[in-house]
Amino acid sequence: MRVRQPFVAMLMFTLLGAGTATAGQVSHHSFHSETLGRDYPYTLYLPDGYAVSNQSYPVVYLLHGSFGSDRDWVKRGRLKQIADRLIGKGRIPPAVIVMPRSRSWWVDGHNEQARTAFFEDLIPHIENNWHVVPEREWRTIGGLSAGGFGAINFILERPDLFVAAAALSPAAYAPLPPRSSSAWRHPAFQAPEGRFDTELWQRVNYTAHLDSYKAQERVVPLYLSAGSRDVHDAAEYADFLYRILEQHQPGQVSLEVLRGGHSWRVWRASLPSVLEFLFQYAQGPRALEPDHDK
């Protein structure tokens, strides 16, 4: 795996701020989504000093799993404690972390247009209302299980939007999900007659984006992890994806297999590596532009 030299902002933060106590803030928000026709909830982590720093920050989008919630990463993943610790030790720069909620496996499925809402509603809302830099080099994404499925799909479809990504125990199943997967009973993939929509799965799965992604010069570095005893064999599916992408972008894909199953124990253990990987590529905070009133 290729590791970029630390950027100047990160180096200065490490020299000046490493070891200091940090206390980021977590809050819950929503806004009206035209795509969904309802409010779109998300949980937000703001780094210590956000309100007075006069800076714009990198942004990390973290996606939850099947039948999950925007609050899972904080309640079960210990996101705040981990981010505070890594920022305080200078291992990552201060960042805004957005944890949105989807009812539809992050796809335009039978129950809602989650993919379209993410691109056309959520990202513009975040960039118009919070101090984040609205450019690719400051924008990253990650997710677990179905959220990993979403993160992989998003970067392969829109590599122009994300500078790095991570997928934990991703539901990167091909050609179809294993029978143990909740995809088979999730409303996103349930056709009107109540059957699993195989055609939809194959149309929205990452395999449908591979050819167009590999035809482009731009690549998105990707961190993959999974548990060694995952009930859905996520490690095997992740390894398959790793080998495909490693051929296309050598040294820019990482795969870590941890002891454990398809569980928060594995995802919590992966989260520090996720954030550190993303900030090998993403830029750090920069001065807030004049007349910025967010």
What pLDDT digit, counting tens, does each position of 241-263 carry? 999 999 999 999 999 999 999 99
pLDDT reading at 231 higher than 80: yes
Determine whether domain 8-287 maps to CATH 3.30.420.270: no
Q: Report DSSP state, residue 280.
A: T
Q: Minimal CA–CA distance to 61: which of 22, 98, 113? A: 98
Res 176: pLDDT: 96
Q: Assign 5 a pLDDT band (cuts: 50, 70, 90).
A: very low
Res 8: pLDDT: 38
Q: Minimal CA–CA distance to 49: which of 90, 7, 21, 86? A: 21
Query: Which pTM does this prediction carry?
Result: 0.92
Phi-psi region of 147 (alpha: psi -120 to 50; beta: other; left: phi over 0): alpha
Q: Are strands 38-46 and 96-100 parallel, antiparallel or unpaired?
A: antiparallel
Of the given ranges (18-22, 204-208, 211-215, 254-258), which has the lowest mean pLDDT? 18-22
pLDDT reading at 276 higher than 70: yes
Planar angle of CA 153, 146, 3, nearest 5 degrees: 60
pLDDT reading at 20 higher than 70: no
> Could you read off the pLDDT of 58-99 as tens digits, one per residue?
999 999 999 999 999 999 999 999 999 999 999 999 999 999
What is the rounded distance in angstroms from the CA atom of residue 85 to the CA atom of residue 91?
9
The count of residues in the chain is 294
More confident residue, 70 or 292: 70
Res 15: pLDDT: 40
Res 294: pLDDT: 54
The shares of helix, strand and coil residues in the chain, as percent rounded to the nearest 5, are 35, 20, 40
| Residue 144 CB coordination number (10 Å) | 34
Q: Minimal CA–CA distance to 177: which of 202, 195, 157, 152? A: 202
Q: Report DSSP state, residue 263.
A: S
More confident residue, 289 or 226: 226
CA 285 vs. chain centroid, Å, equals 19
Q: Are strands 96-100 and 139-144 parallel, antiparallel or unpaired?
A: unpaired
The proportion of the chain whose per-residue pLDDT surpasses 90, expressed as a percent, equals: 89
The proportion of the chain whose per-residue pLDDT surpasses 70, expressed as a percent, equals: 91
Q: Which secondary-structure segment (H or E) carries 171?
A: none
